[in-house]
Structure 1
Amino acid sequence: MSISAPRNDFKKRLLRGEALHGLWLSMASPVASEALSLVGFDWLLFDTEHAAIDLASVQPLLQAAAVGNAHAVVRPAWNDKVLIKRALDMGAQTLLIPFVETAAEAAAAVEASRYPPHGVRGVAGGTRASRFGLAPDHFQVADQEVCILVQLETMAALDRLEEIAAIPGVDGIFIGPSDLSASMGFLGQATAPEVQDVLAKTAGRIYACGKASGILATNGELAKRYLDWGYNFVAGAVELGLMLKASQGLLADMRTTKS
């Protein structure tokens, strides 16, 4: 039986400018990962920065998500070459690198995701990324199948957006509304008009750079707004928030008594 290294269809669709609808995952639950991979989302993001998902939990989440058609994206806890290497070895092909503020930081993320001579990614032969060493073409295709998305989360980062977007190997720019709003003096107010105005203008700037643009929303209405502005890979919500909202609604319905 011939086994080939996996290809990154998400990257191809992203670079074609397709609108890709995603969901943010914060729970280290393979059951939830598998179930949500079957819903029809284009991509699921596993967050190891702010959520209680450690590196040992990532591979089972990726394996569970592989049941469905949603592409798995991993956000490492930091722009660190060791964390990037480990996530890639576990089989993640698309990484969202948090808190990138300079072109040099973006370049470092790209370098960490590529094997020598084009980067500094450590070489291991028996990882999930290479089908546990059974895919003979892994080293030939790995670099081109990796997708690097850099997350800009401060006004200082937005001031350098064009410089960051110009780095070869940066496939998309993702905006973090929560940290951005905090850097603007609107902590906890990502939907403030001043913040939303910056987000709307930023979508156009990313498009002008010829890069894919992404963002995290908290509900369907906000997600549609961002898509209308030109963001083309949008996470509609965080799964924990959806669960809590649905649970609160159910409890309210149950407590409603007939007069």
Structure 2
Amino acid sequence: MTPGAAPRYALDRGALRRRLAAGEVTFGTFVGAATPITAEVCAAAGVDWVLLDLEHGAGGEEQARDVVPAAASYGVPTVVRVESTERIRAGRLLDVGAAGVMFPRVDTTDEAAACVRHLRYPPAGDRGVATYNRMCGYGLDPGALDRSDGDVLGVVQIETLPALEAVEQIAAVDGVDVLFVGPRDLSHALEVPGQLRAPVYLAALDRVLEAAKAHGKAVGLLVPDGAAAARLAAAGWQFLAIGSDTTLLANAVVAELRRAGQTP
């Protein structure tokens, strides 16, 4: 392959961000086991994206190095949930080819704006600049620096009471592409822990959805199964995570054991 030709695995180059901006519904799953094999299995199964979870998952930043190309070998982009909103966390993951970053525990508009700055190079942001990484084809694609600001997907979680109260203002921040509800966190914050049919929780979901619609942003949620994802997609939710690699596997094993006659 000649220098500058297409890489052996294709990075996202903004495709997921453009799909969401165009109003498309996308389905993915969380990768909690943090292994390239499970990411590859999910990609082979046909998800639109995988989300490597560094907040609650089993791995750390080093797993992104292998998860990104494993999923990308099937043309599937990797979004990464960072463990903190510290500037360097997002930059390191984007350098290894993440298509976007999910920021947890964002409470205010100022915090959301700071997160977006971590995704952008100066002068628009404060991301560190380097070309000897995967995103720039290890120096063979320096033009990736010019494309990156428009390619990277910014996902902000709405999972606390302060975030819910500021959701309309957070949705208005340029570069916040997706408002993503953490269902368990938000239900706990609303004092209905795990009660995902509670009226106060459902009202909160409606508020997040309306805020996203008002500002032309996508909205996302973690759901347990495909049936729930279908219902939310019909209601306007675009960035839907159907379980995780570990929960899907565990539930599949339990279901087959029950079919085999084993009772809990």
Superposition TM-score tier, normalisation by shorter sequence = over 0.9
Q: 1: CA distance between counterparts of 2:262 and 2:219?
A: 43
State the secondary structure of the residue aligned to 1:198: helix
Say whether the 8 Å CA contact 1:38–1:67 is kept in structure 2: no
Question: What is residue 76 of structure 1 aligned with on the other side?
Answer: 82
**1:231 aligned to which of 229, 237, 243:** 237
What one-letter code is carried by the residue in structure 2 that aligns with 1:196? L
Q: 2: CA distance between counterparts of 1:156 and 1:117?
A: 29
Q: 2: CA distance between counterparts of 1:205 and 1:30?
A: 35
Question: What is residue 64 of structure 2 aligned with on the other side?
Answer: 58
What one-letter code is carried by the residue in structure 1 that aligns with 2:74? G
Say whether the 8 Å CA contact 1:21–1:233 is kept in structure 2: yes
Whether 1:194 and 2:200 are equivalent positions in the alignment is yes
Matches within 5 A, 1:92-107: 92-107=98-113
Matches within 5 A, 1:118-129: 118-129=124-135
Question: What is residue 156 of structure 1 aligned with on the other side?
Answer: 162
Q: 2: CA distance between counterparts of 1:217 and 1:147?
A: 21
Question: What is residue 25 of structure 1 aligned with on the other side?
Answer: 31
Q: TM-score w.r.t. structure 2 length?
A: 0.92
**1:37 aligned to which of 16, 37, 43:** 43
Cα 1:197–1:126, aligned 2, differ >3 Å: closer, same or farther?
same
Question: What is residue 136 of structure 2 aligned with on the other side?
Answer: 130
**1:8 aligned to which of 8, 14, 21:** 14
What one-letter code is carried by the residue in structure 2 that aligns with 1:64? A
Q: 2: CA distance between counterparts of 1:180 and 1:225?
A: 20
CA RMSD, aligned part only? 1.7
Report how far residue 84 of structure 1 moved: 0.7
Q: Tell me the percent identity.
A: 35
Q: TM-score w.r.t. structure 1 length?
A: 0.93
State the secondary structure of the residue aligned to 1:174: strand
Residue deviations 1:5-39, cap 9 Å, x none?
95111011010010111111101221111121111
Q: 1: CA distance between counterparts of 2:261 and 2:180?
A: 41
Q: 1: CA distance between counterparts of 2:166 and 2:49?
A: 28
Question: What is residue 184 of structure 2 aligned with on the other side?
Answer: 178
Q: Which runs of 5+ in 1 are unaligned?
A: none
Whether 1:144 and 2:150 are equivalent positions in the alignment is yes
Question: What is residue 219 of structure 2 aligned with on the other side?
Answer: 213
- Segment of structure 1 superposing worse, 44-53 or 186-195: 186-195
What one-letter code is carried by the residue in structure 1 that aligns with 2:127? R
Whether 1:247 and 2:253 are equivalent positions in the alignment is yes
Question: What is residue 114 of structure 1 aligned with on the other side?
Answer: 120
